[in-house]
Amino acid sequence: MPGFEFFGALERAEVQDVLDSGVLMRYGFDGMRQGHWKAKELEQALAKRMQTSFAHTVSSGTAALTVAMASAGIGAGDEVILPTFTFVASFEAVLSLGAIPVLVDIDDTLTLAPEAVEKAITKRTRAVMPVHMCGSMADLKALKAICTKHQLILIEDACQAIGGSYDGKPLGSYGDIGCFSFDFVKTITCGEGGGIITNNKDFYTHADHYSDHGHDHVGTDRGAEKHPFLGYNYRISELHAAVGLAQVKRLDDFLAIQKRHYHILEASLKKLEGITLRRVPDGGVQNYSFLNFFLPTETLARKAQKELVGAGVDACFYWFDNNWHYHTKWDHLKELHSLGPVSEEIKKRVLNEETQNFTASDHWMGRTVSCLIKLSWSEEEVAHRATTLHRVLDTILTEA
């Protein structure tokens, strides 16, 4: 991770096909495009790889989340349960539909704690959205049982975990609908783009129409298409889809490289007393895009991250203080700093979130250090990184 590290001839060839046709838009211009339909091809490849009946591509991971929720009928006043550790796009997508993001605690999976989800459910709750952060997944079996019990929709935000699996199913395919991001720093990239997968035909049809101004896409005359319901523009372009088409063909190769690099680094940690790895639920296989581990205390975690970066272990993160990914830095959400007015329902629920106690999340995130796994490392670079990782952490733990 990320896929841009291995841009090559396959990506250039797919993009050149689009440029040669002269059609950059995914819809229409049938005669000009010379049979080239990159977005359609990407959707077919994605559905096949993810073992789902349907796939639909859009302009970003944020768009994927927005369209997925809209396609499932989520809107004004509905509550969607989210983890305290995610990217800001998760709650942005919820708010854009007039729905209400409800933050709940994570556990040692670094994702939604099922018991916290159960406690947060109200009569307004419509969906639970686990976010498979840093390459691994939530306790999906437990979350699915909760959703079944309360008749809720299970939406998998697998934007950071494409290629992982749970109970033999690709992440994103276990719930009712799953979402991916194909932005520039994801395991496979379109530059900008996102994907939705589902086995629900109605959700797919809704997504297809909603993401293109409500067009029903019946027939070959775009100007004659009808609009069965309101929609917006979340279309992917053919240029972006072309890059993604090349990259999705390489996904399993990328995963194999990440797994090899991950296990070398992981082995260097297993020799250290006081270091524990993030829990991967039974039946789960991560995509190995991050090595996530816990230090004994928050103070040691902060020190470890700083000293690892100082020793040359780049792309090493302390998420607790990150502006984008953890609740402690989301004042713009907690205080509803909006350019326009928001509904009273959102105000009542979200403004109350600020007073909630997320010490259970802080217990885990405060002690977490995450190291990105790069595809382009040489064998020597991986070995050196493993040695440095062990040396720095061993010194910190010994001196503690």
Q: Cite the active site residues.
A: 186
| Separation CA 56–CA 24 (nearest Å) | 17
Task: Please name which of 135, 129, 132, 137 lies closest in space to residue 168, comparing C-alpha atoms.
Answer: 137
Give, as one character, the DSSP assignment of residue 77.
Answer: T
Torsion of CA 14, 16, 17, 19, to 10 degrees: 130
Type of residue at 292: N
Alpha-carbon distance of 199 to 178, in angstroms, equals 10
* 3-state SS class at 212: strand
For tokens 């979350």, name the residue. Answer: 143
Considering only CA atoms, which of 394, 385, 165 is closest in space to residue 291?
Answer: 385
Backbone region of residue 22 per phi and psi (left: phi > 0; alpha: psi in -120 to 50; beta: other values): left
CB 54 within 8 A of CB 251: no
Q: Which long-range contacts (CB under 8 A, 24 or more apart) does 228-233 make?
A: 233/59
Q: What interhelical angle do 379-399 and 298-310 show, nearest 10?
A: 140
CB 52 within 8 A of CB 256: no
CA distance 124 to 73: 13
Q: In sequence order, what DSSP letters do the residues of 265-308 get, joined into one string? A: HHHHHTTSTT-EEPPPPTTEE---SEEEEE-SSHHHHHHHHHHH
| Residue at 27: amino acid letter | Y
Smallest CA-to-CA distance from 140 within 288, 279, 284, 278 is with: 284
Q: Dihedrals φ, ψ of 153, to 5°?
A: -90, 130
